[in-house]
Amino acid sequence: MYTGKGTLVLRDGQTLPLSYQFSSDYDDIRAGYLFCDTSDVDPAELGYSLRIICEDGIQIDVAVIHSSDRYLAVTGRVAPLEAA
């Protein structure tokens, strides 16, 4: 289990603080749970690719496979590093 804190970036630019638990980290694939308050988020926003910015700087593009007001179940891939 891999845990940490970060920020969820929605398509409209809104950000939400979160804690994550990834049970799978095979190669660049991630799967697990994001714990954050999504009660004020339009559920339609969760139907698009979202980005997690982890506190260690890693960015992960995720798709939501299940949601509630308290957590999101996600699967995703580590985003490639952008050339400077």
Q: What confidence tens digit (pLDDT) does each residue in 56-67 have?
A: 999 999 999 999
Mean pLDDT of 38-61: 93
Answer yes or no: are the C-beta atoms of 35 and 81 closer than 8 Å: no
**Is residue 69, in this structure, part of any structural domain at all?**
yes
Q: CA torsion, points 66, 36, 61, 77, in degrees to nearest 10?
A: -70
**Is residue 83, in this structure, part of any structural domain at all?**
no
- pLDDT over 70 at 31, yes or no: yes
Domains identified in the chain, total number: 1
**Is residue 84, in this structure, part of any structural domain at all?**
no
**Is residue 21, in this structure, part of any structural domain at all?**
yes
Residue 8: band (very low, low, confident or very high) from pLDDT cuts 50, 70, 90: very high
The pTM (predicted TM-score) of the whole model is 0.89
**CATH number of the domain to which 64 belongs:** 2.40.10
**Is residue 71, in this structure, part of any structural domain at all?**
yes
Distance CA 37, CA 29 (A): 24
**Is residue 49, in this structure, part of any structural domain at all?**
yes
- Residue 18: give the domain boundaries: 2-78
The number of residues making up the chain comes to: 84
The answer for residues whose C-beta is within 8 angstroms of residue 71's C-beta and 6 or more apart is: 33, 34, 35, 36
